[in-house]
Structure formats: C-alpha cells, structure tokens
C-alpha cells in the first residue's frame, strides 16, 4: 500500500481528527479517520466528515499531486473540518 496523504483536521469547535488515504495493491483508495493528532486514536466513521470522500480519480489524467490538492480543497470547502497540517514523510539521509 502506498500512503497518498496524511492530514490533521480541526473543526470550528476545536475537535481534532487525523485522516490518511492509501492506494491499495488492487488500485483502490482506502481511508482511515481517527480522533486526535497522534499516531493512533479512537476510530471514527468517515461520515463524521460530513461529505463523501472521493473513491476514484476526479479526472482521468489527474496526477497524485493534483489528487492531494483536490482532496484538501474538498475537505476545506465541503466538510465539517478544515485541514490544519499535512504530515510529511520522515526522510533520513
């Protein structure tokens, strides 16, 4: 599985959630949503976001970078939450 994005979200009431999106080996999208900004927490239903997450590319020629931007914009504009931070992968040299 390839991690596409890891986001920290916050509602206007101050509730914190973490969302990850992975591309599975069979080329489908898998989302995980949990409470807090730690590496684990209480699982949440995806419906708690208040909108339907994309289950496929928005456009046939959409790139990975475009998909990340589209996902963040959709969350900010359509859900009960807003993106506070995108967690970047740790790289050691």
Q: Which helix (H) or strand (E) holds 67?
A: helix 64-78
49 SS3 class: helix
Please check the confidence at residue 32 and state whether its pLDDT lies above 90: yes
22 SS3 class: strand
Please check the confidence at residue 55 and state whether its pLDDT lies above 90: no
In this prediction, residue 60 has a pLDDT band, given cuts at 50, 70 and 90, of confident
Please check the confidence at residue 65 and state whether its pLDDT lies above 90: yes
Q: How far is 87 from 67, CA to CA, in rounded Å?
A: 16
- 32: closest CA among 15, 58, 7? 7
Q: Where are the domains of the chain?
A: 2-86
Alpha-helix residue ranges (DSSP H) falling in 1-93: 64-78
pTM of the model: 0.91
């Amino acid at each position: 599985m390839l991690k596409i994005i890891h986001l920290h979200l916050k509602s206007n009431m101050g509730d914190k959630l973490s969302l990850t999106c992975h591309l599975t080996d069979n080329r489908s999208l898998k989302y995980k949503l949990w409470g807090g900004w730690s590496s684990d927490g209480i699982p949440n239903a995806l419906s708690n976001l208040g909108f339907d997450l994309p289950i496929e590319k928005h456009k046939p020629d959409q790139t990975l970078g475009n998909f990340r931007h589209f996902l963040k914009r959709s969350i900010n504009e359509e859900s009960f939450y807003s993106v506070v931070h995108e967690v970047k992968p740790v790289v050691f040299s």
